[in-house]
Structure 1
Amino acid sequence: MMNVPLNISTLLERAEKYFAKKEVISNTATGIQRFTYKEIGERTRKLSSMLSKLGVNEGERVGTLAMNHHRHLEAYFAIPGIGAVLHTINLRLSPEHLIYIMNHAEDKVLLFDEMLLPLIEKLHSQLKTIEMYIMMTDHEIPNSTIPNLYSYEQLLQEGDSEFQFKKDIDENSPAGMCYTSATTGNPKGVVYTHRSTVLHSMAAGLTDTLGLSEKDICLPVVPMFHVNAWGLPFAATWFGASQVLPGMFTPQSLASLIEKERVTITAGVPTIWLG
């Protein structure tokens, strides 16, 4: 009998195998970019290989400060793919809470959007455990006070597109974490395992939930730094649904994406749709 651990990398591997030509459409600062799941898989493996080469080990935390786009999707799989823990951080929090969260989680690496460079330049001296910074951008890295600052795309140029994800990860080990600020005092960490994430993704295909399938085109408006965008990026990948990642959006750009890309499933808090 087959007994396969429920690890997050299996979600992407299924998309690579069965839905290689389905698309991920990403709205970025330089415009709309389109990738197939085959290309996303190759880029993800390159990122995994470089994180491993840079010394990220199993169980260590890698933070992300980013909007919904293809690079964040790649990080969703590349980080747990080597046994590290994906720590998505709410970029709308105060600088004080951001510092507290990254220090408390003991993040080793931080991936962040280019627009946040001025913020990171102000904060980095107070981030006690971060050893490397990776800016998610199509552009070259500008002169900066941030030490050990890398360009995401330049790292990928050196990566291995055939890198193999770690296979002996305990499915009950941490795969991701978020911090909730819906309590008194400082934000509290919440950890997700590989197993819980995969089961949650599978459940999204049930008739009484989202009924998600390869026929769908999914646009997660809910931020990828908010409880894994309600699991939609993982689930859509597992089922082979095309994904539309809106990046920084306005009501007009969001409506345009939904219409032009013929989106069938989307999700966001009520204020998004009321606004």
Structure 2
Amino acid sequence: MMDYPLLLRSVLYRANTVFPEKEIVSRDYSGIFRYTYRALYQRVSQLARALDRLGIDAHEHVASFAWNHHRHLELYFAVPCSQRVLHTVNIRLFKEQLIYVINHAKDRVLFVDEDLLPVIEEIATELPTVHTYIVMTDKSELPATSLPNAISYENLIAHEEKDYEWPIFDENTTAILGYTSATTGMPKGVEYSHRGLYLHCLMALTGELGTDESDVTLPIVPMFHVNAWGRPYSDTWIGAKQVYPGSRPQISDLCTLIDQEKVTYSVGVPTVWMGILNYVRQHPGKFDFRHVRYFLSGGSALPMALIEAYEKELNIHLYQGYGQTETTPVTFIGMQKAKFQSLPYAEQLQKRAKSGLLVPGLEMKIINAGGEEIAHDGVEMGELLLKGPWVIKEYYQDPEKTKESFKDGWFRTGDIVTMDQDGYLQIVDRTRDLIKSGGEWISSVDLENAIMGHPAVAEAAVIGIPHERWQERPLACVVVKPGETLTKEALMAFLEARVARWWLPDDLVFVSEIPKTSVGKFSKKTLREQYNSGQL
């Protein structure tokens, strides 16, 4: 066999060679922007040449601080394919965290969206390694900014040649640097190699329910977090029409794009799917979703009631996936085995509400506190460990965290799970979110799903609170759907028939919203802080 490295340049090459006329759609500041894969290739080449001109050497870090749009997609290719490293900075990190990750990465150039300029302007004096700022806007003039050495993106690439000699190098070279969303402590750096991203793409085209050239994809999950779950690369490789939601997309924008661009596939977190369902309910007959093949949900547990509502009200299959920043991210997908298709609907639903089956290419084991592997009976719980070609081997320049997170060559996910006899994984909880009451474990995830099964509940999050006798007891924070009314008594009566009596929350607190993390998950850390300060 040829000694041919697995590099992202192959993805770009195929899109330009095989699908040059296929369309990419991007919601820009002045309206909808459309171009082709041929034009993408040309602009990527221009951007790579511009980075040469700026003096950015191989392996140096280039940062993006941006939403999901076509310019960000161009960075996804121009930076790593020219042997540099793209650091996708999470735009929702706190000020101190932003300063930390940009300095820790030693970014040389920072590409920033026009509407995010104030965030970077506030911290620019504390970013000593950044020497140039590129402002991404569709306006002809550079927006007013206090950033030093600021250049308009379009002006940067405008006069460069539209082709580039892409280098060949070691496939284990870092392509993208991302950081965890920092639920505890400072974010941890995670390096994604060309080889890992390449193989993750191949898995996505075979094990992730499959997409092809006929699909129209909408990556709602942010490009600044875990590579938008790999969609920008896998969708480019197969020549799918890609639709990017742009700056600060609202639920109404997403619904409009799904309708008008005839989206067939999209990926997002459960809070997004809840929002879309409720918005469609509020605007009956306004949107046509008949062309949608399925949606994929991840980031946190998918309530069974939401899966059922999508099928019955929108005729859309909503599937669940599971992964982490450290795993590029996809590791499990909630595909339905053929043998279950003849089961009663309620039983099929139970399988689909689980986190899913291990994707091709990875290995796993589940161990108890003593380090022994547990039975795959759907009951016994343990910590999930993973190994594979797109699982990290260390945290970027953080030996202490690396030592804590690996065991005999396996990555410790920190998730407590069960696995049934059919191979379906179920996330029970994060180790820090399990509630230990009277020596027994209560899964906050399962309790949340039960609560969100009530037709009047929009969202629910459960945390453990100290208890003098039982050590911890569950407290449920509940958001009621607009226009609905619900009492504690009615909700407790609903739960009594669905969970063990000792799982019932000691209290139910109705709140206007559940705080979210930077990537749209329920922030239980914030809820605990609110409880401790008397705000709940």
TM-score by length of 2: 0.50
Q: Which residue of 2 aligns with 1:147?
A: 148
1:197-226 Cα offsets, whole Å, 9 max, x none, are 0111111111x3131111111110000001
CA 1:143–1:269 in 2, change beyond 3 Å: closer, same or farther? closer
Whether the 8 Å contact between 1:8 and 1:77 is mirrored in structure 2 is: yes
Tell me whether 1:73 sits opposite 2:73 in the alignment. Answer: yes
1:123 Cα deviation after fit: 1.1
SS, match of residue 144 in structure 1: coil
SS, match of residue 133 in structure 2: strand
Q: Which residue of 2 aligns with 1:158?
A: 159
Q: Which moved more, 1:132-141 or 1:35-44?
A: 132-141
Which amino acid in the other structure matches residue 245 of structure 1?
Y
1:29 Cα deviation after fit: 1.0
SS, match of residue 160 in structure 1: coil
Which amino acid in the other structure matches residue 156 of structure 1?
I
1:151 Cα deviation after fit: 0.5
Whether the 8 Å contact between 1:133 and 1:148 is mirrored in structure 2 is: yes
Q: Which residue of 2 aligns with 1:268?
A: 268
Q: Which residue of 2 aligns with 1:210?
A: 209
SS, match of residue 223 in structure 1: coil
1:104-145 Cα offsets, whole Å, 9 max, x none, are 000001001000112221111000100111000112113432
Q: Which residue of 1 aligns with 2:230?
A: 231
Whether the 8 Å contact between 2:114 and 2:143 is mirrored in structure 1 is: no
Whether the 8 Å contact between 1:217 and 1:244 is mirrored in structure 2 is: yes
Q: Which residue of 2 aligns with 1:23?
A: 23
RMSD between aligned residues: 1.1
Whether the 8 Å contact between 2:64 and 2:87 is mirrored in structure 1 is: yes
SS, match of residue 79 in structure 1: helix
Q: Which residue of 2 aligns with 1:126?
A: 126
SS, match of residue 204 in structure 1: helix
List alignment gaps of at least 5 residues for structure 1: none
Find the aligned partners of 1:181 and 1:90 in 2 and give their Cα distance: 8
1:160 Cα deviation after fit: 1.8
Find the aligned partners of 2:20 and 2:226 in 1 and give their Cα distance: 27
Q: Which moved more, 1:117-126 or 1:232-241?
A: 117-126
Which amino acid in the other structure matches residue 37 of structure 1?
Y
Which amino acid in the other structure matches residue 116 of structure 2?
L
Find the aligned partners of 1:3 and 1:160 in 2 and give their Cα distance: 30
Q: Which residue of 1 aligns with 2:339?
A: none
Whether the 8 Å contact between 1:50 and 1:158 is mirrored in structure 2 is: no
List alignment gaps of at least 5 residues for structure 2: 276-536
Q: Which residue of 1 aligns with 2:136?
A: 136
Whether the 8 Å contact between 1:81 and 1:165 is mirrored in structure 2 is: yes
1:26-76 Cα offsets, whole Å, 9 max, x none, are 001111000100000100100010011111111111110000000000000
CA 1:250–1:144 in 2, change beyond 3 Å: closer, same or farther? closer
SS, match of residue 217 in structure 2: strand
Q: Which residue of 1 aligns with 2:361?
A: none
Find the aligned partners of 1:250 and 1:34 in 2 and give their Cα distance: 20
1:147-183 Cα offsets, whole Å, 9 max, x none, are 111100001112221122222x210010001110345
Find the aligned partners of 1:210 and 1:176 in 2 and give their Cα distance: 25
Whether the 8 Å contact between 2:9 and 2:81 is mirrored in structure 1 is: yes
Tell me whether 1:42 sits opposite 2:42 in the alignment. Answer: yes
Q: Which residue of 2 aligns with 1:112?
A: 112
Find the aligned partners of 1:219 and 1:49 in 2 and give their Cα distance: 29
Whether the 8 Å contact between 2:28 and 2:138 is mirrored in structure 1 is: no
Which amino acid in the other structure matches residue 154 of structure 1?
N
Paired-residue identity, %: 48
Find the aligned partners of 1:183 and 1:123 in 2 and give their Cα distance: 22
Find the aligned partners of 2:209 and 2:52 in 1 and give their Cα distance: 35
Bigger Rg, which one: 2
RCO higher in structure (CA 8 A, sep ≥6) = 1
